[in-house]
Structure 1
């Protein structure tokens, strides 16, 4: 056996060894609790603009950055608290979750944004899922009604941004797929099929126009609001219009998986699998399965990673595994992502002002939030941890 063959065998053994590691579930939950307790101590110390800032988003120059309820990330920390309550059954986390969720309620009538699912469903959606509180249901329904006002029947989709009017007449971003959960759930809760129809139409329009032949996705599609015609295909956060922005791919796999959950339309399941195949078989996906911020970034391997994309992918794969014949492959990949996130991308206890994961990338083209913790990385990490544990215990992936 020559040197090259020996090295190949050694690398293979190392890789297999890392794949066969197991998540130390209680240890990871304990770490998340410790960090979140620290976060709760740090929030009152952070600059708060007269008390208008309600949720942690990231670190800027080592300092905790809080955001107002209108920020698209505001619902993630309340959702994180709800997941800790689900994972531990500790009433302390429930009470903190109720407190921070209440800060988001005013967003239920904010029709200036498409991010209603991220804000309201990650907070009030998880609250209702775990407690069945009637008021939480009422907030969900009002939020769904507000989101529905952004739907354009000519386009067949929900408008994403109101800003950037100089670039797009009617922009729709791939991220918007995750806001459909709020609409699907509103129909489930009320019996009003109008929300379901809007969600399906949006998913179908996105399926038709957002994907390339290899199942990578454009970030932004610009439509003509009068005719519904596609005017532009661009990126806003990826490397280039033709590149595959990592978190965009993550939103796509997660989004079409949740669409299949509510509709059982095999077209959505197939699309989720196609996107999963693109991600998992991509030549630029690192060994630890935590992607670079863009699969086509020019300086790989010297590009920032995006742990938030990895967490979203892991959570999506865990649910996807319950619907397909590729369940073992998806489970193995998802758990491997979680293992690497906990071993390489996690803050040590007492560090990071209470964030759990480090090394995420918000928007590199705008030089914003590069190689930092992000609240949505922690949220989807805990969601994935919850889903992994439920599947291990022979339970449904979502309670």
Structure 2
């Protein structure tokens, strides 16, 4: 096969006066170009192997993705620290809020995440329906400060949710829909079953099912050990979250990871072990050094690690590995608890294969609405915030809990 020619001016002599399928691309019509290119074999993979998941696609000279952190204020209207008092002292819970009217969507994040994981979802749904957003940092997570952050039992965290609602609204809370992802979904169910939110009007779980969750617990410690212990910067943490596939949406990662990591207090801090920072080197930087011949990449990385001061490192805000004793309590019996809730229910999943037996039967009996959002990772509301916002908005409008705004059109699921 003749090599492809670059598109450009072509003389009639070169083209042979023909514009058929065999004519050079420079003188073809748009349709003929498309037909011709469709007959060519696919381009060979880039050197080094791997697809888009292995390394980011090069978008042109000097084109780099921006991994810098983004402030919460670009997505939420306000931030507040809610003080909960009891007989033993005070606890302070961080919340982020948006919206002035409509039902309250109380958002509960997954284990290790924070309220900031709902940032992009918040901006998406607030423009679709009349609602108010309250995104909560659960105990031991984000900026919430409690006297016993190690107590992450389902019962304790469910009580926290009820206490925050009472502190915010007193004896007359507005209609509230609980929406939780993963661990947060389990806590939402436990909160609903215990009737800790008396004005509850709906319940939504995102990618949490008892059967698959219990099966996954066996490999959870291995997953946690595979994560980096420290990051040399917030940018480095954000880059890791995207390239590792933990969060598949860069926009969400730039605001969400800020709530997942914290700056180490000092070189001797036990939270920041003396280990090599697991940095990620940009492909562009590698290429530049290779072209200039200015030393090996490994040498530069080692020098960067040496120069990085330990007190400037970032580590995880919560050590999830130490919460293992609570995992069983979060998820065991969750499916039947979810089905027993008398309020309208919505289940959003990243894949239909995640359904267990109890939920499959319940779904066939019409006990809850289910929607599968493919091409998402576990953090569905971060990977596809617009689709999740549409699903939640449609659910609320369908039950006449709110009204659409901004010309939002509901698309009711077929099943």
TM-score, with normalisation over the residues of structure 2? 0.28
Who wins on radius of gyration, i.e. which is larger?
2
Bigger helix share: 1
Task: With a CA cutoff of 8 Å and minimum separation of 6, indicate the structure with the bigger relative contact order.
Answer: 2
TM-score, with normalisation over the residues of structure 1? 0.29
Bigger strand share: 2
